[in-house]
Amino acid sequence: MSIASPDPVAAAPARPAVECRSIRKVFPGVTALDDVSVAVARGEIHALLGQNGAGKSTLVKILTGVYQPDAGRILVDGAEVRLRDVRDAEAKGIAIVHQDQQLVAQLDVTGNALLGNEIVRGGLLDRPAMRRRVQAALDRVQADFSPDVLVRDLSVAQRAQVAIAAALLRQPTALILDEPTASLSDKEAERLFEIVRALRDDGVTIIYISHYLDEVLSLVDRISVLRDGRLVATVPAGEISRADIVRMIVGREVSQLYPKESVPIGDALLEVRGLEGPALHGIDLTVRRGEILGIAGLVGAGRSELALTLVGALPRQGGTVSIGGRPSAPAGPRAAMAEGFALIPEDRRQEGLVIDLPVRENLTLPNVARWARFGLLDLGREAAAARELVARLGIQPPSIRTPARNLSGGNQQKVVVGRWLTGDSRVFLFDEPTTGVDVGSKIEIYRQMVELARSGAAVIFISSDFEEISAMCDRTVVMRRGRIAGVIEDQAAATPEALLDWASGSAGEAPARAGDAAAKAARQGPVATILSRWGTVAGMALTVAVIAALAPQFLAIGNIFDVLKQGSVLAFIALGLTVVLIAGGFDMSAGAASQFAANVAAGTLLAGFGSAAAIALGGVLGLAVGAVNAGLVLALRIPAFVATLGMMFVVMGATLLYNGGQALTLANRPDFFFLGQGYVGPVPFVFILLVAVTAALHVLLKETRLGLRMYAVGQNAAAALLRGVGRTRYAFASFALGGLVLGLAGVVLAAYSYGASALATGVDFLISALAATFLGSTMSRAGELNVVGTVVAAIFLASLSNGLILLGISNQALPGIQGMVLVLSVSLGLLRKRAIGQVLIF
């Protein structure tokens, strides 16, 4: 078929919803877009296709305000617009749902959907109104879950629904869907297509980006193809075939999309017998030299778990594995590499690349010893090897200095494959290597599989794309629910239809679903939550009960109130630290800042000023320290740990200069002492003050726009930025507010201690505050930092210290015990967030 290149503007109605005219964008050494004109009609699904690096991402970033074009115009509803940032693009009616569905996992659906566009009444979040709006949007995308559920508890498909609902809440003129089905099962993808069609019927304009050509042809109305930064053509989907699209994308005739060649197959290289592991049950398989063995199955079948268990990234619970007749039981990925395994993981960005390193280091790091002698790296030989791999794989741009994060998805995957081509690996595990990869890159990856097989390696190809399994493999193993459902020896019988039949359980067994894994996780989730959240509370209660049994005086009323006073002082410091940590910061100077504020408050009173002046100066001092910390971290980009560690020593030195190395003792200041030692009835005033401050902070952090955004940038700054919530403003607010609380904590400390100590006790305060902060986080639903949990934990730590003293434990042992509590509390928090993590095989 001969494809003309019609004028895209003329092909669309006179007034398209979104129109790009003669867009040009140049980066140093690369013309990303050159005279690109695309018009998207109102109420149509318009596909934007091309290889990775063709210019699609650049055009989308221009449409969403991330980049500004060097030339050309953008029109929305016929009016020219200038899109300066993400919020500006949304205000003009352009919203995007990213491939990785950037969401804040610890926030609920409501908080995620309206992040950056919260509904506020009287300064507080109007949660009922927010919930109603989000529920309406969820209904529109046929969601079957509540707006109150935490995003971390949703399946991938459900997160996609949240992301689309969030975009619809912005009432877009055009909605951009970037690879929306990349992580979905066929069933979930079909449901998404229904949603997309329904949105089109409602008048929503959709720009659809995908590498899956079959779904494009069945879903979209028109197609625009980019290649090398230029528009190839815009044509109706009904007038073009799959082969035509491939030729347009690649720029040449592609006679064979799947370049499988006949390769001599040798003896058995990998033998697996009775393998048991997480989600695996009695796996038996053999892979021979020169063979490409396909592992087919639906999402949740256990395919990735098999690969991870073979390389030691998941624990083996039974069975045997051998390579070349030798037993294989790697303790981890590094040992697996030494035994001959090479894993190309499913998640290339998180598990396959060090994205901040350049292409050179990513290509050579697994086998860097090859270019080293006596521990010294031969940089010339290493660079030459990297350049050879770049040329061999056709990596674009062809530079070994380009950071891996700046490569397109297809080129990133080529790097992940290329890193193993210089080593001694004999068994190659390709786990979904073509997900989100363009046609040209797919062909190159297929060719590398064939070359590896030709060299005598055993290749295991794991994929949920049954067509590529059918076309590229010599034999196919089908998995279902952690077991082998069937082995197809005659590859001619391994048609996509037959593979789906096996994978879905044609013998009457219910089909495996992508939601199975999520459902299993949901069933297991509450158990882990109960053990960590309520287990923490139960552990605290049990500890207090044991102390009370061994030291009866512990429960005396006077002692209890003393504990409340002691715990309140610690809690104030821990509150300041918690506020900083919530927005993703860290403050090593927290204890030192409070001690400095205590000295300044005491010195102010000794100089003859009143309590009000002491309180004000202490708060201002803490605020100033917090602001300086923020400047070091945000403006100078010094890591928070380093910046605040340095500030800790600066503040400790300033404290010694201020007090001359002498304790500042106060007397005859009953009004000031009342802050730390006074009572209202039988209750210590400092505890009442703590409750009031905690309540105020809780409302600020949980019920205001400021607090929601602080949590968002602390938990997922990238997701927050995509909602127009920049990190700088809210991280600065957390440092400043935390510093203010720490300054006031110092004033309370001076009132409690009748002055200020000359000793450098800031580190002791820091350890105790950290323990309280992280222990308190294990008591929240989402495992997040929160001020109420911090206060409860601080009171517990004070109770523990008091009880140990009553039991005769030396004060010198208390820091060690507090350190143990800190480690335990952090471990409990990690228990709730544990995942497989990175499996980089170095």
Whether 628 is covered by a domain: the verdict is yes
pLDDT recorded at residue 206: 95
- One domain for residues 683 and 804: yes
The range of the structural domain enclosing residue 296 comes to: 276-517
Residues 6+ apart with CB under 8 A from 132: none
Whether the Cβ atoms of residue 453 and residue 262 lie closer than 8 Å to each other: no
From 94-108, 112-126, 528-542, 786-800, the region with the lowest mean pLDDT: 528-542
DSSP state at residue 51: -
pLDDT given at position 52: 65
- Position 518 confidence tier, pLDDT thresholds 50, 70, 90: very low
Q: Are residues 675 and 794 in the same domain?
A: yes
Higher-confidence residue of 507 and 80: namely 80
Residue type, 770: L
215 occurs within a structural domain: no
**Region of residue 236 (left: phi > 0; alpha: psi -120 to 50; beta: else):** beta
The DSSP output letter for 84 is -
HSE of 464 in the Cβ direction (CA atoms, 13 Å)?
25
Return the structure tokens found at 248: 């347009």
Q: In whole angstroms, how far apart are CA 669 and each of 450, 606, 675, 798?
A: 85, 10, 11, 26
Range of lowest pLDDT (54-58, 202-206, 710-714, 827-831): 827-831
The tokens of 628 are what?
Answer: 């300086």
Q: How does pLDDT run across 91-142, given as a tens digit for each residue?
A: 899 999 887 667 998 899 999 999 999 999 999 999 999 999 999 999 988 8
Those residues with Cβ within 8 angstroms of residue 654's Cβ, 6 or more apart along the chain or in another chain: 596
pLDDT (mean) for 715-733: 90
Q: How many whole angstroms separate alpha carbon 319 and alpha carbon 588? A: 48
Q: What DSSP line would sit under 404-428, residue for residue? A: GGGS-HHHHHHHHHHTTTTS---EE
- Tell me which of 177-186, 307-316, 639-648, 766-775 is least confident: 177-186
Identify which has the larger pLDDT, 300 or 600.
600
Work out the burial of residue 287: count CB atoms within 10 Å of its CB; fewer than 13 is exposed, 13-18 middle, 19 or more buried: buried
- Mean pLDDT confidence for 772-798: 87
When pLDDT is averaged across residues 53-81 and rounded to a whole number, the result is 91
Q: How far is CA 27 from CA 22, 34, 101, 216, 390, in A?
A: 17, 12, 27, 30, 21
Q: What are phi and psi of 755, to 5 degrees?
A: 140, -155
CA pseudo-torsion sign 342, 348, 349, 351: negative
Listed range (211-225, 387-401, 500-514, 569-583) with the worst mean pLDDT: 500-514
pLDDT at residue number 212: 77
Determine the Cα–Cα distance for residues 324 and 521; give it in Å rounded to an integer.
37
Residues 388 and 430 occupy one common structural domain: yes
Neighbour-count burial of 325, counting CB atoms closer than 10 A to its CB (0-12 exposed, 13-18 middle, 19+ buried): exposed
Domain boundary at 491, 517, 543, which? 517
As a whole number of angstroms, the distance between CA 737 and CA 754 comes to 26
Pair (382, 501) in one structural domain: yes
Task: Give the per-residue pLDDT at 826.
Answer: 60
For residue 618, pLDDT over 90 is answered with yes
Residues 566, 451 within the same domain: no
Alpha-carbon span 466 to 500, nearest angstrom: 7
Distance CA 262, CA 280 (A): 32
pLDDT above 70: residue 3: no
Confidence of residue 736 (pLDDT cuts 50, 70, 90): very high
Among residues 452, 482, 446, 453, the alpha carbon closest in space to that of 467 is found at: 446
Over residues 649-678, the mean pLDDT reads: 93
Residue 507, pLDDT above cutoff 60: no
**pLDDT at residue number 299:** 63
In this structure, the answer to whether residues 662 and 758 fall within a common structural domain is: yes
Determine the pLDDT at residue 753.
93
Q: Note whether 574 and 724 are within 8 A (CB).
A: no
CA distance linking residue 590 with residue 389, whole number of Å? 50
Q: What is the pLDDT of residue 822?
A: 60
Task: Name the nearest CA neighbour of 66 among 666, 632, 773, 718.
Answer: 718
Radius of gyration of the chain (CA): 31
497 token code pair: 């239809």
Average of per-residue pLDDT values in the chain: 85
Residues in the chain: 842
Domain count, the chain: 3
- 164 in Cβ contact with 97 (< 8 Å): yes
CA-to-CA distance for 346 and 460, rounded, in angstroms?
A: 13
| Same domain (yes/no): 319, 433 | yes
Last residue of a domain, one of 517, 547, 562: 517
Local structure of 154: helix, strand or coil = coil
What pLDDT score was predicted for residue 158? 87
SS (H, E, C) 459-470: EEEEECCHHHHH
How confident is the model over 31-55, as a mean pLDDT?
89
Residue 34 phi/psi, 5-degree rounding, is -140, 105
Domain contains 667: yes
Residues 403 and 530 in one domain: no
What pLDDT sits at residue 825? 60
pLDDT at 236: 95
What is the model's pLDDT at position 100?
65
634/691 same-domain check = yes
> What pLDDT shows up at residue 810?
66
Flag whether 640 is in a domain.
Answer: yes
Other beta carbons less than 10 A from residue 560's beta carbon: 13
For the chain, how many helices (H) and strands (E)?
31, 28
Q: Are residues 624 and 736 in the same domain?
A: yes
**Of the candidates 171, 186, 212, which is a domain's last residue?**
171
Q: Does residue 600 sit in the same domain as residue 503?
A: no
More confident residue, 758 or 315: 315
The pair of three-digit structure tokens given for residue 133, joined into one six-digit string: 């709006």
Helix (H, G, I), strand (E, B) or coil at 455: coil
The DSSP 8-state label assigned to residue 31 in this structure reads E
467 vs 219 pLDDT, higher one: 219
Place of tokens 């786990």: 431
Classify residue 584: in a domain, yes or no. Answer: yes
Closest C-alpha among 275, 350, 340, 349 to residue 305: 275
Position 680: which residue type?
A: V
Residue 788 has pLDDT above 60, yes or no: yes
Contacts of 245 (CB under 8 A, 6+ apart): 49, 213, 216, 217, 223, 225
Q: In the block, which residue shows the tokens 């100590």? A: 757
pLDDT for 522 equals 38
* Rounded CA separation 566/794 (Å): 9
Band of the pLDDT at 505, cuts 50, 70, 90? low
Instruction: CATH number of the domain at 334, please.
Output: 3.40.50.300
**CB crowding 355-366: b at 16 or more within 10 Å, else e:** eeebbbbbbbbb
In CATH, what number is assigned to the domain containing residue 716?
Answer: 1.10.3470
Q: Give the phi and the psi of residue 383 in degrees, each rounded to 5.
A: -65, -40
- Residues of the chain with pLDDT > 90: what percent? 47
- Average pLDDT rounded to a whole number, residues 542-554: 89
- DSSP letter, residue 53: T
- What is the mean pLDDT of the segment spanning 26-54? 87
**How far is Cα 338 from Cα 616, in angstroms, rounded to an integer?**
63
Q: What's the pLDDT score for residue 101? A: 64
Q: Are strands 45-49 and 222-227 parallel, antiparallel or unpaired?
A: parallel
Q: Determine contact, residues 615/741, Cβ cutoff 8 Å.
A: no
- pLDDT over 80 at 504, yes or no: no
Whether 343 and 330 have beta carbons less than 8 Å apart is answered as: no
427 falls within a domain: yes
User: Residue 5: what pLDDT?
Assistant: 41
Q: How far apart are the first and last CA of the chain?
A: 48
- Residue 222 CA to residue 46 CA, distance in Å, equals 5
| Structure confidence at residue 640 (pLDDT) | 93
Residue 231 falls within a domain, yes or no? no
pLDDT at 257: 76
Within a domain: 307: yes
* pLDDT for residue 487 is more than 50: yes
Cα 412 to Cα 149, 236, 308: the distances in Å are: 34, 32, 21
SS (H, E, C) 760-811: CCHHHHHHHHHHHHHHHHCCCCCCCCCHHHHHHHHHHHHHHHHHHHHCCCCH
CA distance 250 to 468: 18
Whether the Cβ atoms of residue 298 and residue 464 lie closer than 8 Å to each other: yes
Please name the helix (run of DSSP H) or strand (run of DSSP E) that holds residue 32, with its range, or none: strand 30-40
The better pLDDT of the pair 321, 3 is held by 321
CA distance 533 to 546: 20
Residue that wins the pLDDT comparison between 842 and 693 = 693
Q: Are residues 439 and 297 in the same domain?
A: yes
* pLDDT bucket at 815, cuts 50 / 70 / 90: low
Q: Compute, in degrees rounded to 10, the torsion defined by CA atoms 608, 610, 616, 622.
A: 50
Q: Who wins on pLDDT, 409 or 835?
A: 409
Q: Which residues contact 531 (CB under 8 A, 6 or more apart)?
A: 831
Q: Check: CB of residue 569 under 8 Å from CB of residue 748.
A: yes
Return d(Cα 499, Cα 479) in angstroms, integer.
10
Instruction: Let me know: does 116 contact 722? Beta carbons within 8 Å.
Output: no
